[in-house]
Structure 1
Amino acid sequence: MGRLSFPTLLAGFVAVLVGYASSAAIIWQAAAAAGATVSQIAGWMTALGIAMGISTLALSLWYRAPVLTAWSTPGAALLATSLQGSTLNEAIGVFMFSSALIVVCGVTGIFARLMNTIPHSLAAAMLAGILLRFGLDAFASLPANGVLCGAMLAAWLFAKALTPRYAIVATLIAGLLVCFATGQFHPADTAISPSLPAFTLPHFTLQSLLGIGLPFFLVTMASQNAPGVATLNAAGYQVPVSPLMTVTGLIALVLAPFGVFSVCIAAITAAICQSPDAHPDKNQRFIASAAAGVFYLLAGIFGGAIAMMMTALPQAAIQMLAGLALLGTISGSLYQALTHETQRDAATVTFLITASGMTLGGLSSAFWGLVGGGVCYAVLINLRKYYSR
């Protein structure tokens, strides 16, 4: 294994921090909608941390690529609004049904064949559209949090000019110092202690499987796995897609009775580990995702308490840290999307639809961005070929 440096370790930590801080509340709402108690929700967080840790470590070390896994945040949002009136047992049945469908996609290779048909420029444009919101949020929080965000931005700027590898390190330190100095660091009162996940017997009903399970599967694949694979491809890592789907689906299927509602290929947080800031050598960035796997396991050991501890930082600090950490990936994705002149229009359509945040038929803008860009790509390329004869 390559050498572990502090920026590489920090990239793994920031990836987990951003993942937990940005979506832990949504998972809480989804679990509560299914009727889970506080102790059961804490157990879910434990099981999720263990699932993400095992899958991230195994895939990163096996493929020697920065493969980061995550739960489906769009899927959790769907569950939070769809599980009202369902029992906890039915919710577990939905989790198992969706995970089984993902395993089928992996074993049959359907998802891999679909991803191979997507032009690289469109995948990069979709990634840029997904990440754009994080860049915008970073600077949108600046007016109301001038001291905190200004200090973090200044630290990043000077460090980027002098020691680029430690730019995010300086950003994090500056943010922590300002938070402590201004009293904006608010740790939760919850004791940090292990929360053992409890087994819940699944219950399958046709109504819950078709009404919740099928849309949950589609949202997870279109809004989480597709961008996750696109992120890997856009960063230059050609990892076999079918094994990724099979392994993550199987882990989620086995651990679903303990509250693991999904295990997916991460996109946004993975981009932090795939960035040059994580390691200048592209072939050594898997160490950052492996480090993230260890942090996932640590977060899992302490269950819900560690998730609440991570929210001690103000939202503005998390947004600024995430936005600056992803800045290089955003610019690199835009460059790759717009490099080929013949594909530029289709890539721009993909970028704009994805960045719009629109939803249609329960599917996210990332899915429709690929559809819209793909249609433009097919029409423009084929018509140009036809009339150039």
Structure 2
Amino acid sequence: MSIPPLQTVSTGLVVAIVGFFSSFPIVLQGLAAMGASPAEASSGLMAASLSMGLTAIVISLVTRQPSSVAWSTPGAAFLAVSLAPAGGFAEAVGAFLIAGALTVLAGLYRPLRQLAANVPLPLAHALLAGVLITLCARPFLALADAPYTAAPILLTWFVVGKLSRLFAVPAAVLMAVGLTLWGGAFSPPNHFLTQPVIVLPAFSLASVLGLALPLFIITMATQNSPGMAVLKGEGYAPRPAFFLSAVGIASILSAPFGALQTCLAAITSSLCAGADSHPDKALRFWSAVMGGVFYCLFGLFAALIISFAAAAPPKTLEVLAGIALLGVFANSASVALADAKSREAAAITFLTTASGVSLFGLSGAVWGLLFGGLAFMLSQKS
């Protein structure tokens, strides 16, 4: 096997820094909302990072395509604003397994893949925007509740973002680390390497319909499909059956350790597949491979990251999660409301989801998609 070019090593490091540190706060919030203990959240963060790292390495080496892989940040955001299932974190893990299995089926069974792809794009983005709006408002609400924490982080994010949007959130994370160390509450964990915790899954119809199905739809619409589209746009030919089966199997294997869905990446895929990755298109897959290696390294030290998060000043994770998702929210809201013909249906989906209404054990995201879908079909007939 050839040695990866130095340029792809540096690109892989950037990919891992951006992918991990721009979104780990929302992953922690999502796992905590599902009832995960600190040890289970640490294990889940480690397993999710190892899953996306190893999957990126395998897919990229097999296909020789720069196939960057991620955890489902939109899925984590959905979990963060959802009610914990009656069966606790074990039931959430069961939902993670079901969502992974649905992804495998979508890879192997074309009609299911086409069904997921046929969810109207405005409704899918309205669903995501409805999930994100509460999270994206929290950094600004924190200015009143914890100004000495929120203001420095927001200012760092804004200033660095004017120079490089790519590094705005990682810079904000560094500011949060500085505030945590300044506060003096941080104490290193007993074990720097993360200890895995196995969670036996539990299943219920409510968690399948209220958690697993929305996770599958959100991740397919906002991560897996755009991830393959990025590769196609750069002149590659991703194989949907292989790619979806790979991330689905990775999700199934990592779920018992507390990890949410593994999926194809969109933003970091563009970093790996673009001309800045390497002048030779045939060698760009090494960027995704090296990104996977660094993801694995970050995952092994998830316990240290959890310790920092626990010692951080109040509202720190909420501020970081909100600013990390602000760009995603803006894009989703724009796509959702762009077409006048589907605007009312998208608005119904958005508002129902954002309301957080829960009926018959089904979350607002499910009702938003149902009500918005009905309005969309009626608008097409008129």
- Residue pair 2:52, 2:69 contacting (<8 A) in 1 also: no
1:51 and 2:51 are equivalent in the alignment: yes
User: For 1:230, which of 218, 221, 227 is the aligned residue?
Assistant: 221
Equivalent position of 2:250 in the other structure: 251
> How big is the shift at 1:317?
2.2
Segment drifting more, 141-150 vs 293-302: 293-302
Structure 1 counterpart SS, 2:311: coil
- Residue pair 1:95, 1:213 contacting (<8 A) in 2 also: no
Structure 1 spans left out of the alignment, 5+ residues: 33-37, 384-389
- Residue pair 2:107, 2:243 contacting (<8 A) in 1 also: yes
> How big is the shift at 1:264?
1.8
> How big is the shift at 1:67?
3.7
1:265-314 Cα offsets, whole Å, 9 max, x none, are 469xx68758x9x7996996999987774454235434656534443333
Supply the RMSD in Å over aligned alpha carbons: 4.5
Equivalent position of 2:71 in the other structure: 69
Segment drifting more, 325-334 vs 154-163: 154-163
- Residue pair 2:16, 2:295 contacting (<8 A) in 1 also: no
- Structure 1 Cα separation of the partners of residues 12 and 254 of structure 2: 33
- Structure 2 Cα separation of the partners of residues 159 and 41 of structure 1: 30
- Going from structure 1 to structure 2, the CA distance change for 1:315 and 1:359 (only over 3 Å counts) comes to farther
- Structure 2 Cα separation of the partners of residues 333 and 123 of structure 1: 8
- Going from structure 1 to structure 2, the CA distance change for 1:382 and 1:158 (only over 3 Å counts) comes to same
> How big is the shift at 1:370?
1.9
1:142 and 2:143 are equivalent in the alignment: yes
- Structure 1 Cα separation of the partners of residues 104 and 378 of structure 2: 33
- Going from structure 1 to structure 2, the CA distance change for 1:65 and 1:139 (only over 3 Å counts) comes to farther
- Residue pair 1:135, 1:323 contacting (<8 A) in 2 also: yes
Query: How many residue pairs get matched?
Result: 356
Structure 2 spans left out of the alignment, 5+ residues: 1-6, 233-237, 278-283
- Residue pair 1:357, 1:364 contacting (<8 A) in 2 also: yes
Equivalent position of 1:35 in the other structure: none
> Within 5 A, what are the aligned runs for 1:62-211?
64=66, 66-70=68-72, 81-82=86-87, 103-104=104-105, 106-181=107-182, 183=183, 186-187=186-187, 189-193=189-193, 195=195
Structure 1 counterpart SS, 2:312: coil
Structure 2 counterpart SS, 1:68: strand
- Structure 2 Cα separation of the partners of residues 93 and 234 of structure 1: 26
What TM-score do the two structures reach when normalised by structure 1?
A: 0.70
User: For 1:14, which of 17, 21, 43 is the aligned residue?
Assistant: 21
Equivalent position of 2:343 in the other structure: 344
- Structure 1 Cα separation of the partners of residues 55 and 139 of structure 2: 30
What TM-score do the two structures reach when normalised by structure 2?
A: 0.71
- Going from structure 1 to structure 2, the CA distance change for 1:17 and 1:369 (only over 3 Å counts) comes to same
- Residue pair 2:100, 2:216 contacting (<8 A) in 1 also: no
- Going from structure 1 to structure 2, the CA distance change for 1:92 and 1:323 (only over 3 Å counts) comes to closer
Paired AA for residue 10 in structure 1: I
> How big is the shift at 1:145?
1.4
Equivalent position of 1:264 in the other structure: 261
> How big is the shift at 1:189?
3.9
Structure 1 counterpart SS, 2:108: helix
Paired AA for residue 87 in structure 2: S
